[in-house]
Amino acid sequence: MLTGKQSWVFESKPIIRATGTIGGPFEAKGRLAEEFDLLHDNLWMGESSYEKAQTVLIEQACEQAIQKSGLNKEQIQFMLSGDLVNQLTPSTFAGRSLKIPYIGLFGACSTSMEGLAMAAYLVDSKGANHVVTVASSHNAATEKQFRYPTEYGGQKPPTSQWTVTAAGAAVVSTEGKGPRVTSATIGKIVDMGLSDPFNMGGAMAPAAVDTLEAHFNDTQTSPADYDLIVSGDLGEIGLAIAKDLCQQKGIQLKENQFKDCGLMIYREGQPVLAGASGPGCSAVVTYGHLLNRLKARDLNKILVIATGALLSPLSFQQKESIPCIAHAVSIEAAEVSL
C-alpha cells in the first residue's frame, strides 16, 4: 500500500522463505565465503562464454532458493530478474530454462532491491503466492562489456570497484518461515554531474541519501528504527560521501550503523580497490550474510538500499554524466515461527 510519496508498507509482511546464493572463485576467497550456498572454482562454470556462465549462476541461485523453499517450480507464479549485460541476456536465458512467467527489470546494481520490492509488493497485494527474484553479475562479462576484456590487463584508479561474480535469489511468499519484508521505497534518478565511470560510488552516494531521506519521510521512521542500514555497493569513497550527506541533511546515524555490501564481501588484502559492486553484490550479501544475522537475531531490523549507476558505454562515449538510483527495502526478523 502506498505510503507517503514513493514508498509501500507491506501489511502482511511477506516472508523471504528461502534464498540461493552462488559465487565465483574470487568470492570463495572472500570474507563471506561460508555464507554462500555454492561457490565455483573458476569463472567459466563449464560454459563457453562468461555470459553463459552468468546464466548458470542465475539458474543455480533460483533452483537453490526454490528447492530450499520446499516448493516446486510450478508453484512459483513469477520470476523477476535483472543484470548488467545488454538486453539482460543472462536473465533471459535463465528465464527460458526455468519456464516461470517472467518480468525483466533493469536497475543496474539497484536491481536486487528493485526486484525484492516488487516481489514483496506482489505477494503482499495478493498478486502472487510465491515469487522468485534474482539479481546477478559476472566480473569478466561486465568488464568486457563496460570497460575492456580482462585479458588486456588494463590499469584502474583506486576509486574503481570490483564487480562481484555472483547471483542471489529469494523466494518471497505469503506463508512459510523466515525474515519478513516490511516496506520499500522506490528511488528517483539523481545525477550530480559526475562522469567518471571509475568512481561510481561517488556518483551513487547522493541517490542513496535521496532515497534514505524519502524512506524516513514516507514511512515516518528514522535511523533509530533500524539496527543496520546497508547500502548496495557504494564502496569506500561512496560510503564516506553518503555519511557526510546524511550529516548535512540531519539524518542522525549511530556509529557503525551505516555499512556497505561492497565493503563486506571481500577480505582485506583482496585487490578490489574501493570495494565491490554489481547487482550480484547486494543480492548475495543480503540473501546470505544479512538474512543469516536476522535469523540468528543478531539483528532485528535492517534497511537495505541498493544503489545503481545507470550509465552505459554509450552514454559515457556521448560525454554524459552518470544518472544514479537507489531503492530501499526494510527486512525484519520473523516475529513468530509459523
Positions in the binding site for a second copy (CB under 8 A): 1-2, 5-6, 8, 48-49, 51-52, 77-78, 82, 84-89, 92-93, 95-96, 99-108, 114, 118, 121-122, 125-129, 186-191, 214, 310-315, 318, 320, 323, 325
Rounded to the nearest whole angstrom, what is the least distance from the CB of residue 98 to a second copy in the complex?
Answer: 8
Task: Give 52's Cβ-side CA count (13 Å radius).
Answer: 6
**Of 121 and 258, which CB lies nearer to a second copy in the complex structure?**
121
Query: Rounded to the nearest whole angstrom, what is the least distance from the CB of residue 50 to a second copy in the complex?
Result: 10
Give how far Cα 136 sits from Cα of 87, 184, 233, Å: 14, 20, 13
Q: Compare residues 27 and 233 and give the one whose CB is closer to a second copy.
A: 233
Distance from C-alpha of 301 to C-alpha of 30, rounded to nearest angstrom: 25
Nearest to 164, CA basis, from 282, 324, 35, 325: 282
For residue 261, report the phi and psi dihedrals to the nearest 5 degrees.
-55, -35
If the CB atoms of residues 82 and 280 are measured against a second copy, the closer one turns out to be 82
Q: Which is nearer to a second copy, 27 or 51 (CB)?
A: 51
The two beta strands, 15-23 and 38-39, are parallel
User: Cell 556518483, residue?
Assistant: 203
If the CB atoms of residues 23 and 176 are measured against a second copy, the closer one turns out to be: 176
State how far the Cα of 92 lies from the Cα of 222, in Å rounded to an integer: 38
Q: Give 257-288 as a 3 state SS string.
A: CEEEHHHCCCCCCCCCCCCEECHHHHHHHHHH
Q: What residues contact residue 240 under an 8 Å CB cut-off, 6+ apart? A: none
CB of 51 to a second copy, least distance (A): 6
The answer to whether 236 and 229 have CB atoms below 8 angstroms apart is: no
The C-alpha cell at 48 is 563457453
| Residue where the block lists cell 561517488 | 202
- Name the residue nearer to a second copy (CB basis): 21 or 69: 69
Q: How far is the CB of 105 from a second copy (least distance, A)?
A: 6
Least CB distance from residue 91 to a second copy, whole Å? Answer: 8
Smallest gap from residue 130 Cβ to a second copy (A): 10
Determine the Cα–Cα distance for residues 109 and 306; give it in Å rounded to an integer. Answer: 7
CB of 30 to a second copy, least distance (A): 27
Q: Which is nearer to a second copy, 188 or 254 (CB)?
A: 188
Give the integer Cα–Cα distance in Å for 275 and 14: 31
Give the shortest CB-28-to-a second copy separation in angstroms: 26
User: Is the Cβ of residue 105 or residue 234 nearer to a second copy in the bound state?
Assistant: 105
